[in-house]
Each structure stands twice: as structure tokens, then as C-alpha cells.
Amino acid sequence: MNRGYNRFLLFVAGLGGLLYGIDVGIIGGALPYLNATTHLSAAESSAIVAAVLLGSVISTLFAGLLADWMGRKPLMVLSGLAFVASVPVIALSHGYEALLAGRLLQGVSAGLIGVVVPLYLAECLSATARGKGTGIFQWMLTAGIFVAACMGMYYSYRVDAVAAVASAEKVLAYKEYVWRSIFWMSMPPGALFVAGSLIVGESPRWLFRRGKREATLKALLRSRNQEQAELELHEMEQNQTAARAGETKKSGVRESLLKRKYIWPFLLACLILSCNTATGVNSVIGFNTIILLQSGLSDLAAHWGYVLLTAVNFFMTMLGMTLVDRKGRKFLLVLGTSGIIVSIVSVGVMFLRTEHYSVDRRDAVQALVTTDGKLSLRFDIAHAQQLLAAGSEGRNLDAAHVSLAVIYSCGDFSAATNFVRSDDAAATPLEATREACLPTNKVDSFFKNPFADLDKSRVAPVHIDKAVIGLVPDKGHGWLVALGLYLFMASYAVGPGVCVWLALSELMPTRIRSNGMSIALLINQLVSTTLAGIFLPFVAKHGYSSIFFLFAGFTLVYFVVAAFFLPETKGKTLEEIEAHFAGKPA
């Protein structure tokens, strides 16, 4: 076997995983500084996080078609170029719209990478190396998240040092420099991925479907010995002959896609992909710093907590890589989903105990709204004392250790602010405005509320629906929450994190693989986008405990699918897996 070429192929695929991980993880370290300098509302912050996922949805729609039309290799080059182009759009932005556009472009890149790289690996690697190879893609994905967290940690120390000697205005200016720098530092891996994609060869199975037999054998020989290459080429020819024999006698009519051998693996892949992201993994990564801040950790400790989370993800993925071809996909998925359920329920219970002390001060906050429909409140200890004194409940709360989030509405539309802690002297004022609540146009209005009257809402008063003052626990509670999230991340990384890309590429039959992968990943991204988009508003209204219990419910469905419906695919060629779903001997 050409080990040198195989290693280079895995290196390029690993760079694709690295870019995907940076796409997902980079916002975690940058978001606190982005919020501090751009005055984003909770809905806008969620949109910035979710934009990568929405961009993935858009590109995933066409990724399979593009992979079939232009080939796997050119699409890898295109996805890398999209990532490189997104960096200056974000880093040079001066407004919500430009930020959103850049993050959407990053999402387009991630969506293409998420389809084409696992597809390329599955079609290029042998059966014995496929698990490890696809595991490397996931491992480097976690490396991208870890690198992004380390960048955030580095700048967190810098911000802390500047805050100790500089004025509030200079600290704010430095925070703006920080989040822009974090995005600039993500460009070099994108350029390396583009260069590597230009060097690797095309997928042998794509070449075979184009009728290029000699090119197929040549592509196989780049990563296999002569005997393996000829055997796999023979299997491809047998499958092609069987497929043609199954066609009807009518000229031009192909075998129906509604057969069990197509429908069952397609549904399994879609279920696994949707449940995989419904565990809440992207929200736990993207909002991790904010979650830890609310659990009781300081800003610096929360950033350290996020770095440790990504380190756990990175090293446990390495363990999953070593086990996936030994223990099998099914075993790791059952083990991982079990751990996720235990950990996420534990975290939910811990938040539920602290949220029991929350009080609502909507009337007192409503009185602070100006006649032109604006609320601007610097929630320090003094203001916390005033709001707590406005009602009979909650007076036992310590004003020095509480947080505030406001849910408000304008006519038919509602919005929520971020949580602001009373002990954060550098926090910007909590703001609720009509502009932040209302959609910018009627198209946006339709997607937010198709039955709303936008014109009437534009002149409606700002109404405070809920102003939640909650207890910010001590740092001991914060580290307990962090430990629960580390167990969540370890369970995800060793099981679903490694196996999900394998399930996506292995289960689909050759005839529907590229388009089937696109549809399954599209469902995955739709679920992920929805969860990321509603995360902060949902938490502001219902609390962290509710969102974690929701994640646990979805993961229970995942466990059932993996334990009772998923076949083991360890050590089988793609053609053998296809024969299994067709009910034929391998």
C-alpha cells in the first residue's frame, strides 16, 4: 500500500475537519467580546452563532448534486476557498448584517466540507482503514474547536491584563480588537486545505460511475496494493451488473428508489444525523463560556472551563478513533449516548436547584422603559438591590451575586436580552429596544411570525413580559456544572462524535450516497440551526434546566435507534453493507 499517499490523504481530510471545527468553535471564545462591543441582542447573538449552521443548511442542499456533477476533489477546493473568503468579511465587519453574512459564508464552507470530505474518505479508503480515516476527520474537527478555544483563552488573559491598568473605554476598544484577531488567525488552515485538495486524486468510485475504468484502477492503486484494488474494482462491476439486471425491461427506466435496500439505510442515517445534533452538542460548545459564567464561574475561569471542554473533546475523540475499528460503531454509539443522558440530566438538575430562587421584576423594569420605547439598564449591585426590594420575594438573594435577563415584546413580536451579572463591572448596559425586537422587513417578519402585523407592531409600545433575576451560584457550583459538561463531551466524543460521519457515509448505497448524505446532513443542520437559534431566548424564558432536559429527551431517542435498529458495519466494504440492506449474502 502507498502509505505516503494515504498519510497525505488523511492529512488533507484532517485539515477539512480542522476547518469544520474552527467554524463551530471559534465563536465560543469571540462571542463574549463580540457582545460587549457590538450591543447584540440575545436573538442577534443566537443568530450569529446559528448562522454557520444555517449556511451549512443552504450548502448541504446542493452539496450532493455538486459532488456528483463536478467531482469530489473540485468541491473540496471550492469549500476551502469559501472558508478563506469568509474570514475578511467577518474580521472587517462593522455591523450585524456583515457579521451575519460572513458567518453564513463560513457555514456554506462547513456544509460542503461536512458532505464531501467524509464522502471522499469513504470512497477512497479501504474497509480496514475507513473507520480510522473518518475518525481522523472528526479528531481534527475537535482539534479545530480546541485551537479556537485556546485562542479565546489567550486573549482572555490579555483582556484581563488590560482591564487591570486601562480605562473602561480602552478595555472596550481592546475587546473589539480581540474578536477581530481571533477570526484573522483562522485563515492559514483554510489556505493549507485548498493547497492540499489541489494535490490529492479524485475518488475512484466517482470515476467508475463516469465509466472511467482505467482511471478508477489507477486511483485505487494510489491507496491500495494490486490485489485489493482489483478486488474492489471487481465488486464495483458486480454491483453495477446487478443494478442493471434489476432495471425493468422498459428502456430508460431504472430500479425504483422505494425499495428496502434504499429506504431503510436512508432513514437510519437521517435519524442518526438528526439525533446526533439534537444532543445539544453544538449549543454546549458554542455557548459554553456563557453557560459557565451563569453557573457561577468568573470570566477567566469560564474561558478556562471552555478550553478544558475542548481538550476533553480532542483527547476522547482520539480514544474513539482507536476503538471504532476494534469495538465497532454500534457499541460506541450505545456507550456514548448512555453517558450523554446521565451527564446532561445531572447538569439540568443542578441548574434547576439554583433557578428555584429566581424572581420576576417585570413591573419594576417596565417603569424604566422610556416613552420612545427604550430600556437601558446598567445592572450593577445598586440597581440589583433596588429591583430586589421592589417585591416581597427574592429579598434573601445577594445583590452582589445575581443576574438579570429581560423578555419583552412589541406588538406581535418578542425578543430576549442576554444575561447580565451584577458583579461584572465591565458589562455593558442591558438594552431592550423596539429596533432589536422587530424584523427589518416583511420577508423577515413572515419567517418570524407569518400571522403578525408588522406595521402595527412598529408603533406598539415596548412591553416587558418577564424580567428574571436569578441567583448566580458560587464557583464550586460552577465547576460541578463544568464537570457534568466534561462528562457530556467525553461521552459524545468517544461515541457519536466519531461514529456519526461513518454512519453518514457507510449506510448509504452507492446509487444514492452523495444525494442521500446531503439530505441527511441537511436534516442534521436544520435541527442544529433551530436549537442554536432558540437557545438564548429559550433559556431566558424557561431556564437552563429546561433546555438540558430537552436535550436529554432527544438523546434517549438516539440511544434506542443505536441499540435496536443500527447494524454493525465494522470491517465491511461499502458493497457488503449495501448487500446487507438488500437482504443478500455479502
pLDDT at 345: 95
Q: Is the per-residue pLDDT at 571 higher than 70? A: no
User: Which of the four pLDDT bands, split at 50, 70 and 90, describes residue 15?
Assistant: confident
Residue 392 has a CB neighbour count (10 Å cut-off) of 7
User: Which of the four pLDDT bands, split at 50, 70 and 90, describes residue 514?
Assistant: low
Terminal-to-terminal C-alpha distance of the chain: 25
Position of cell 485539515?
Answer: 15
Q: Is the pTM of this model over 0.75?
A: no
User: Which of the four pLDDT bands, split at 50, 70 and 90, describes residue 64?
Assistant: confident
User: Which of the four pLDDT bands, split at 50, 70 and 90, describes residue 259?
Assistant: low
Q: What φ, ψ does residue 581 adopt, rounded to 5°?
A: -70, -20
User: Which of the four pLDDT bands, split at 50, 70 and 90, describes residue 373?
Assistant: confident
User: Which of the four pLDDT bands, split at 50, 70 and 90, describes residue 553?
Assistant: very high
Rounded to the nearest 10°, the torsion over CA 126, 132, 134, 136 is -140
From CA 257, how far away is CA 277, in angstroms rounded? 27
pLDDT at 558: 92
pLDDT tens for each residue of 266-286? 888 888 888 888 898 888 887
Q: Is the per-residue pLDDT at 399 higher than 90? A: no
From CA 267, how far away is CA 245, in angstroms rounded? 25
What is the mean predicted confidence (pLDDT) over 38-45? 70
pLDDT at 344: 93
Q: Are 142 and 313 in contact (CB under 8 A)?
A: yes
535 alpha-carbon distance from chain centroid = 13
The rounded mean pLDDT for the chain is: 80
452 alpha-carbon distance from chain centroid = 30
- The domain segmentation of the chain, as residue ranges, is 359-476
pLDDT at 250: 46
pLDDT at 249: 47
pLDDT at 218: 84
